[in-house]
């Protein structure tokens, strides 16, 4: 038993010695004086950059939807910019540009189909005279047609390779010298 006590005392002494050394090492008088400003400045800068990126992302998100809640895409046709609302759901495609009184000059609506097909459009409840371009899966305009307000006559494509349809103000394509064969750039994938 005395051997066990001696061992525990020895262990206790080592522990106390080690403890004293550690306490003296951690004492504030042994640590170098560090001011908080140099440490906090980089952190503050990182937080500020994060805020800027966050707000920039919010502004970008706001710009990616229209007043009607549809996604928008920035298209280019023969170097002419055009902002198009994206009708990529059945509801958006059904509503199209119905009940609108105007469409800004360099704006339009892009319809995205699940599979290339023969397309048909009409102008029920559409108050704006429109031109429509039927576009293939590579972005090439196949044909351009005019549509009159409130006309329920179907305006079919002649091609069965239509992957997209783009509606703009009537005459927009002609005003910009855009004809079949022109390439539409920036078409988003569904």
Nearest to 97 by CA among 114, 84, 109, 83: 109
Looking at residue 16, its pLDDT comes to 66
CA distance 135 to 185: 11
* pLDDT tens by residue, 84-126: 999 988 888 888 899 999 999 999 999 999 999 999 999 999 9
pLDDT at 9 over 60: no
Mean pLDDT of 14-27: 59
Tally Cβ neighbours within 10 Å of residue 140. Answer: 15
* pLDDT tens by residue, 128-178: 999 999 999 999 999 999 999 999 999 999 999 999 999 999 999 999 999
pLDDT at 10 over 90: no
Residue predicted with more confidence, 89 or 11: 89
Residue predicted with more confidence, 113 or 12: 113
Whether 136 and 161 have beta carbons less than 8 Å apart is answered as yes
* pLDDT tens by residue, 32-82: 555 665 666 667 666 666 665 555 444 333 347 566 678 999 999 999 999
User: Looking at the chain, which residues constitute the CATH 2.60.120.1140 domain(s)?
Assistant: 72-185
Looking at residue 52, its pLDDT comes to 58
CA distance 63 to 73: 10
Q: Which one is the CATH code of 72-185: 3.30.2010.30, 3.30.2010.10, 3.90.1170.30, 2.60.120.1140?
A: 2.60.120.1140
Q: How many residues does the structure list for the chain?
A: 190
Looking at residue 103, its pLDDT comes to 94
The DSSP 8-state label assigned to residue 117 in this structure reads: E
């Amino acid at each position: 038993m005395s051997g066990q006590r001696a061992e525990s005392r020895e262990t206790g002494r080592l522990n106390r010695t080690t403890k004293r050394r550690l306490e003296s090492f951690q004492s504030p008088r042994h640590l170098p004086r560090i001011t908080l400003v140099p440490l906090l400045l980089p952190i503050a800068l990182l937080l500020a950059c994060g805020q800027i990126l966050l707000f920039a992302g919010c502004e970008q998100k706001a710009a990616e939807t229209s007043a009607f809640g549809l996604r928008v895409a920035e298209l280019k046709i023969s170097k002419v910019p055009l902002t198009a609302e994206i009708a990529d759901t059945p509801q958006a495609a059904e509503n199209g540009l119905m009940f609108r009184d105007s469409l800004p000059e360099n704006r339009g609506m892009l319809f995205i189909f699940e599979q290339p097909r023969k397309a048909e459009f009409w102008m029920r409840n559409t108050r704006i005279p429109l031109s429509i371009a039927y576009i293939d899966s590579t972005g090439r305009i196949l044909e351009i047609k005019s549509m009159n307000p409130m006309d329920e006559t179907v305006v079919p494509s002649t091609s069965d390779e239509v992957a997209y349809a783009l509606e703009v103000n009537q005459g927009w394509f002609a005003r910009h010298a855009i004809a079949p064969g022109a390439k539409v750039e920036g078409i988003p994938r569904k």
